[in-house]
Amino acid sequence: MPQIILITGASSGFGAACAREFARKGCVLVLVARRLERLQALQQELAPAETYIAQLDVTAPKALEAVFDSLPEKCREIDVLINNAGLALGIEPAQEANFDDWQTMVDTNITGLLRVTRFFLPGMVKRNCGHIINIASTAASWPYPGGNTYGATKAFVQQFSRGLRADLLGTKLRVTTLSPGMAETEFSDVRFKQDKAKADAVYNNVQPLSAKDIADIIVWICSVPAHVNINSLEVMPVCQSWGPLAIHRE
């Protein structure tokens, strides 16, 4: 039986790249995202792979339940859940940040991930199989100016994943946190609210990670023997590293 893979935020970036790689492996795909036209184009691209798509904003709880309840019965018994939907908004210091942006990041990166996970987790436990992959960020561990709430939401993802592992001890379920560093997707376009010049400047004269790099890693995470759990994995491009601690001198 082919594995059933559910990917949130599947219309672009890491999510779309994962869909392509798992389609090549013959998996059944359930792809959800806010942009239906993008999903439809991806579904056509992946043909003849068995793909189910649905428009979904993970911050809308009633819509979330309606979408997942309407899936074909077999698609509710997913083998791999990739919680990829997430975003960063703004790069202002905390005292200047837009609170609505903060709330959107919390609603998407934390609450949305919780709702999706809680919907499918009981079935996984009942079947005693499944793998949850939560996409965090290096910002969860390594703060930077302007990353305040975004980094905090991704730190939540890391800690929630650890808590899941603790709760699921004694089952065959696996939980992994993947924390990418600089990657060239639509991430910066969203962060800078479609200011293309600012977004492009992030990647000037560097070779960042690509969406396919991350998808390849996720496929590998899913391929290790069933008794092996990759607890967490942090990945950066070679061009990215840490700097010295910041010191302000009077």
* pLDDT tens by residue, 185-232: 888 888 888 888 998 889 999 999 999 999 999 999 999 999 999 999
pTM of the model: 0.96
* Range 104-115 average pLDDT: 98
What is the number of other CB atoms lying within 10 angstroms of the CB of residue 82?
29
Sort strands 232-235 and 80-83 into parallel, antiparallel or unpaired. Answer: unpaired
Q: Determine contact, residues 168/175, Cβ cutoff 8 Å.
A: yes
The answer to whether the beta carbons of residues 21 and 95 sit under 8 Å apart is no
Please report the pLDDT score of residue 195 as a whole number.
84
Q: Which domains does the chain have, with CATH numbers?
A: 4-235 (3.40.50.720)
Tens of pLDDT, residues 146-164: 999 999 999 999 999 999 9
Q: 52-106, pLDDT tens digit by residue?
A: 999 999 999 999 999 999 999 889 899 999 999 999 999 999 999 999 999 999 9
Active site residue 150: yes
Residue 127 in 3-state DSSP?
helix
Pick the catalytic residue: 52, 144, 150, 203?
150
User: Which range among 32-36, 46-50, 122-126, 244-248 shows the weakest confidence by mean pLDDT?
Assistant: 244-248
